Amino acid sequence: METEITDSAAIITDEPGGVKPRAERAIANRIARRELWLLVAATPLLLFPGPWSWAGLGLILLAWLTRWLATGRLTVRTGLGPPVLLLGLMTVVGFAVAPDRVASQEALWRTVLGLAWFFGLANLNPDATTLRRLGWLWIAAGAGLALLTVVGTDWQNTRLMHLAIYDVIPKFGLYDRLGALGNARGMGMALAIVAPVLLALALMGRGKVQRITALLVALLMVPMLVLTQSVQGALGLAFAVALVLLIWKWWTLLAVIPLAAIAIWAGSRIDWHTLALTSLDIKNAAGIAVVLRLDIWSRALAMIRDMPLTGIGLDSYQIVQTQFYPGYLLGPEFHAHNLFMQTALDMGLVGLLGFLWLLAALAAMVIKALRHHPNPMEKALLAGTAAGIAAMLGSGLIDSFWGFKLSLLFWLVLGTAVLAARAVAQRTETGAAFPFARRWHMLAGVVVLIVVLGVATNPGIWSTNLGLVNAHQALLSARTTGSPDTGRLQGARDRLLAANADIPGNPQIYDELASLDAWLGDEEAALAALRQRLTMEGGDPMARYAPWEPWRRQLLDAETPKAADDLLRIYSQWMVRYPDRAEGYVRVALVWDRLAGNRTQAVAVLHDGLTKGAQPAALLSTALEQLGEKPAP
């Protein structure tokens, strides 16, 4: 008996002689026909996590079980299996190391849901009817996304300018209910991912009605993107449109030549010195965007350097940045504003390698399928999905899509691409869906393994990574509850001491050792660690914490201030931003006392910390005693 699942329906072909399938197989086939409906039902349960999310997971497991019973396999070959499995594994690792697993649950459930949709779409029967219906589903998704953009976006939280039209757009209170789903930047990036799929259907698809409808909806999405003022979305859409045109009619890109000539002419008339100064000036919107991203990226790179194996944890940038890696100007930031950095932060460098492996395998699959003369619908879906991924990567240069609920679109695009490639392979019998031969997957896997072993066998890197992960979990709990878990704190301290013995000279280790010692009640050791950190901050501290400042000073031909002055600027920012942390006052006091030679000011700072109730207070009291002062009663 041969069983095939088509557009989430299972067609049962009985054996000769009319032998009926067993009862459980018949039931499985009935459910398998509605696999995508199971995923539709699971989607809100997992996108908006809560106790009900386990029911969503149950629906996904039911879909997989019935697929196995109906077809005798869990999944068809997708050509992307190894990197997808690696990303799934590193997602679990990222959740395990997260300092606040409750805050990371949403990202975990979102990835589970995305993987379910990817395999659900990839396992559909790749016939013409399924592809045509899938095209209509993408058109409906584009129209729905355009509508959601209008009624569900927080238009009052714009970044560049306030447009009068925002005041007349009906407000239904959806943003308050949808939360981050209605973020204007995220909406812009989502529009940029879906619009090229519709553009490809309009240019290359089959059927006049579907092509015209796709074009109209795509054109409707463009003004929605403009309304979001999403620069990252516009950048991604530019990448995507270029790729669609290249696949459709390569000569259409000849239009780039006059545009390039205009750009060169305009560039020759720009005062680049003034432009550079403007870009690094926080007194204008463009300068703020550039400077804050440089600040965000410098902190992200520091985290990746210290925790390359596991990353910092799923969706944990805001927690780790504000608690342990404060920036010079940064307040709370949700993510790293770069897709590749965010991937490394969420899942470590192994996860980033898995993501790049997945992109390479996808590109190879699409290219080979396009070379085997796909029919119009196959070509449209291949081009559109490839362009959707290009849009995500283009916008990912200056932002990250992973933290948004609509990042589910990545997996939908991926599953559609696999299904279209399978359609080409099945129709032409060329195997065009699987160009990444097993040996190439094995080679990529060996590369990942070598990187992992190379890093993991370095005891300093391993102990630093795990020590900082343990420290973040223990310190976050202590700071938020006020009740330190001495066992966890001591375990993290022991790991960091071992890491410092293997790779000495990392200021971050001393900073977190100081916090661990302070919460363990060893104030003398905590102060010694903070003094040691201060000795490592020599040279140009702005180059480490505010890399744009040395550039701006060079452009202005300004003198470089003393290290003490720069450290006071940096540490004072942290102290003011987080007034409840005793370590911040001690850092500033140490600079005043040891580098600026002003003990009176150092004492005043420590008293200020006690007055404001900074914790642990014993650290401030001990610092005052070391300066020959008594804490106020």
Inform me whether the pLDDT recorded for 32 exceeds 60: yes
Tell me the Ramachandran region of residue 6: left when phi exceeds 0, alpha when psi lies from -120 to 50, beta otherwise: beta
With beta carbons less than 8 A apart as the criterion, state whether 243 and 417 touch: no
DSSP string, 469-528: HHHHHHHHHHHHHS---HHHHHHHHHHHHHHHHHS---HHHHHHHHHHHHHHT-HHHHHH
Tokens of 423: 């359609």
Tokens of 527: 């102060």
Give which of 225, 227, 257, 259 is closest to 240, Cα–Cα: 225
With beta carbons less than 8 A apart as the criterion, state whether 369 and 420 touch: yes
How much is the average pLDDT of 89-118?
Answer: 94
CA 479 to CA 373: how far, in whole Å?
61
Name the residue ranges covered by the structural domains of the chain.
125-439, 561-633
- Give the percent of the chain with pLDDT over 90: 53
The pLDDT confidence band at residue 629, using thresholds 50, 70 and 90, is confident
The pLDDT confidence band at residue 632, using thresholds 50, 70 and 90, is low
Inform me whether the pLDDT recorded for 157 exceeds 80: no
How much is the average pLDDT of 119-130?
Answer: 92
Kindly report the pTM of this predicted structure: 0.90
Q: What share of the chain is helix, strand, coil (3-state, %, to 5)?
A: 75, 0, 25
The pLDDT confidence band at residue 8, using thresholds 50, 70 and 90, is very low
User: Could you give the dihedral angle defined by the CA atoms of residues 150, 156, 161 and 167, in that order, rounded to the nearest 10 degrees?
Assistant: 70
Amino acid residing at 355? F
Residue-wise pLDDT for 36-91, tens only, equals: 899 999 999 999 888 999 999 999 999 998 888 888 888 888 888 889 999 999 99
Inform me whether the pLDDT recorded for 12 exceeds 50: no
Inform me whether the pLDDT recorded for 263 exceeds 60: yes
Residue-wise pLDDT for 453-483, tens only, equals: 777 677 788 889 999 999 999 999 998 888 8
Give which of 632, 628, 610 is closest to 619, Cα–Cα: 610
Residue-wise pLDDT for 524-582, tens only, equals: 999 999 999 988 886 788 888 888 888 888 888 888 888 889 999 999 999 999 999 99
Inform me whether the pLDDT recorded for 92 exceeds 90: yes
The mean pLDDT of the chain is: 87
Cα dist. 75→4, 63, 65, 66, 121 in Å?
12, 11, 11, 11, 11
pLDDT at 5: 47
How much is the average pLDDT of 419-423?
Answer: 93
pLDDT at 16: 42
Q: Which residue has the higher pLDDT, 73 or 429?
A: 73
The pLDDT confidence band at residue 120, using thresholds 50, 70 and 90, is very high
The pLDDT confidence band at residue 415, using thresholds 50, 70 and 90, is very high
Inform me whether the pLDDT recorded for 184 exceeds 70: yes
Inform me whether the pLDDT recorded for 387 exceeds 90: yes
CA 201 to CA 211: how far, in whole Å?
6
